[in-house]
Amino acid sequence: MFAEASELMLPTTPYLCALLAIACVVAFRRRGTRLWRGRVVLVAAFAWSWIFSTPRIANFLATSLESRYPPVDNPTRGGDALIVVLSSGFIAGGGARAEPRLDEAGWARTFGAIRLWHAVGGRLLFVGEPTPDGTSSVARAMADAAIIAGVPASAIAVENNSRNTYQNLAFNRATIAAAGADAWLVTSALHMPRAMAVAHKLGLPLRPYPCDQRAVPLVHWYSWLPNAGGPQMFRPALHEWIGLAWYRLRGRAD
């Protein structure tokens, strides 16, 4: 409850929606004015603001992606498992001071991969997001975190060159294919549909291990009201829907 109250105190989305709603009412009551002539635009702006600021709608969009690959509760140990972990983070600074850092999804994927490694053993392969000079990567930072958490360095490999989801898998295609049915894919639950669509396109028999689930049960009536957290919930889900459509358009995903 305190979280919702704090979001309502931020001078952003809820008040934009309220102002647009008031403008719509005034526009429909003042025939012949400029506001009246622009009433359709005002209604469209209000609908746009409300839809993209409402947690319940954002949560529905996230659920539509995350439900495709549910969490794996009891992963089975196979042969020599290969756990491919897609990186997530950013490069802070530039030039000689460029430093890879993990974001929220990056930490969740790292610890999801460690959890899976404890269950099935094998090797961890962290991939992607190099620094501009190519000397390090977000994948390297994730691997370092795994080593600090107790995974032996001998059980970890890093690929520094791939820059997007397609390259993450395409650049490591031979390694993944060699692992066969013992190859796992670790990424955020929102990102898993796009990543698996790429894997299918490349003919890679990866087993999904989603983590970093964002969708949560929303039962309160006020989850239908816009708040400052709504756009933040919407952004990653919308990003994945657009990304999946773009990859299919370019022939990079099934």
158 in Cβ contact with 136 (< 8 Å): no
Q: Virtual CA dihedral for 172, 178, 179, 185, nearest 10 degrees?
A: 20
The CATH number of the domain where 104 resides is what?
Answer: 3.40.50.620
Are 235 and 153 in a shared domain?
Answer: no
Are 151 and 30 in a shared domain?
Answer: no
Tokens of 188: 């955020």
Are 61 and 96 in a shared domain?
Answer: no
Are 167 and 194 in a shared domain?
Answer: yes
CB atoms within 10 A of CB 223: 18
Q: Tokens 């009891």 label which residue? A: 74
| Backbone dihedral angles phi then psi of residue 116, each to the nearest 5 degrees | -65, -40
Closest residue by Cα to residue 122 from 155, 144, 164, 147:
155
Is position 42 within any domain? Answer: yes
pLDDT digits (tens, 9 = 90+) for 66-80: 999 999 998 887 778
Residue 219: what pLDDT?
64
Is position 75 within any domain? Answer: no
| Backbone dihedral angles phi then psi of residue 159, each to the nearest 5 degrees | -115, 120
Are 243 and 200 in a shared domain?
Answer: no
Are 86 and 202 in a shared domain?
Answer: yes
Closest residue by Cα to residue 112 from 145, 90, 64, 137:
145
pLDDT digits (tens, 9 = 90+) for 88-112: 999 987 766 789 999 999 999 999 9
Q: How many domains does the chain have?
A: 2
Is position 15 within any domain? Answer: yes
Percent of the chain topping pLDDT 90: 57
Are 131 and 31 in a shared domain?
Answer: no
- Can you say how many angstroms the Cα of residue 104 is from the centroid of all Cα atoms in its chain? 10
Is position 73 within any domain? Answer: no
pLDDT digits (tens, 9 = 90+) for 12-63: 677 778 888 888 888 888 888 887 888 899 889 888 888 888 888 888 889 9
Is position 72 within any domain? Answer: no
Are 119 and 58 in a shared domain?
Answer: no
Are 207 and 226 in a shared domain?
Answer: no
Q: How far is CA 228 from CA 2, 14, 22, 239, 251, in A?
A: 13, 7, 19, 18, 36
Is position 25 within any domain? Answer: yes
Are 44 and 102 in a shared domain?
Answer: no
Helices (H), the chain: 2-9, 13-29, 34-37, 39-51, 55-66, 104-120, 138-148, 165-170, 173-179, 192-202, 230-249
Structural domain that includes position 34 = 2-66+222-249
Taken in order 178, 135, 127, 157, the sign of the CA dihedral is positive
Is position 60 within any domain? Answer: yes
pLDDT digits (tens, 9 = 90+) for 108-165: 999 999 999 999 999 999 999 999 888 899 999 999 999 999 999 999 999 999 999 9
Q: Residue 179: pLDDT band by 50, 70, 90 thresholds?
A: very high
> Residue 26 and residue 47: Cα distance in Å, rounded?
16
- pLDDT above 80: residue 7: no
pTM of the model: 0.85
- Kind and range of the H or E run holding 207: strand 207-211
> Residue 93 and residue 64: Cα distance in Å, rounded?
36
CB atoms within 10 A of CB 97: 8
Higher-scoring residue by pLDDT: 202, 39: 202
Higher-scoring residue by pLDDT: 228, 113: 113
Q: What is the DSSP letter of 202?
A: H
Are 137 and 193 in a shared domain?
Answer: yes
Are 104 and 161 in a shared domain?
Answer: yes
Is position 254 within any domain? Answer: no
